[in-house]
Structure 1
């Protein structure tokens, strides 16, 4: 076996060798819950912002179809409006589901 393979193996052992400590599973779950609750407000605001952008894009698309005389303008408007409502409902349901 060439010397550089042995050296590489020894370097790998030194880098990856670290001491691990056993931790309580409940403590990890509680810390994760605290972190998720901390980021939830930011995530909800992000969902509302995405809904607002989708609403604006949808309004432009529907306006273009309406001016073009397309027959499926109502269906497209309902689809865009439904996607915005879905984002708001998901944010509300998640808030009540997690008790925040």
Structure 2
């Protein structure tokens, strides 16, 4: 604690850091509305490709699931119906989530 009293350098450094942070926060806050609008437009521009990506992932999962279920069915496994329901459910979930998000955000 004695070093803090003798050497004013750390106090000045702390004061400059606080002042710099306050100035940068004020600079960012001045153009907040424009920044929010820009962020909104960027999110909206990525939304349709993201929705299409979810549909594509659902299609690939459907194909992989169909192959897995077919293999289990040919092997005579007893849990073929359970596996088919799980794969089908995951594909339906992806499609429903993409559709609900698209209708929720009104895009």
TM-score bracket relative to the smaller structure? 0.7 to 0.9
CA RMSD of aligned residues (A): 1.6
1:94 aligns with 2:92: no
Aligned to 1:65: 72
State the TM-score, normalized to the length of structure 2: 0.71
Provide runs of 4+ in structure 1 moved above 6 Å.
none
Gapped regions of structure 1 (runs ≥ 5)? 1-18
CA distance in 1, matches of 2:33, 2:92: 37
Cα deviations across residues 50-84 of structure 1 (Å, max 9, x unaligned)?
01110010000000000010111011000000000
Larger helix fraction of residues: 2
How many residues are paired up? 83
Larger radius of gyration, structure 1 or 2? 2
Structure 2 Cα separation of the partners of residues 77 and 31 of structure 1: 44
TM-score normalized by the length of structure 1: 0.76
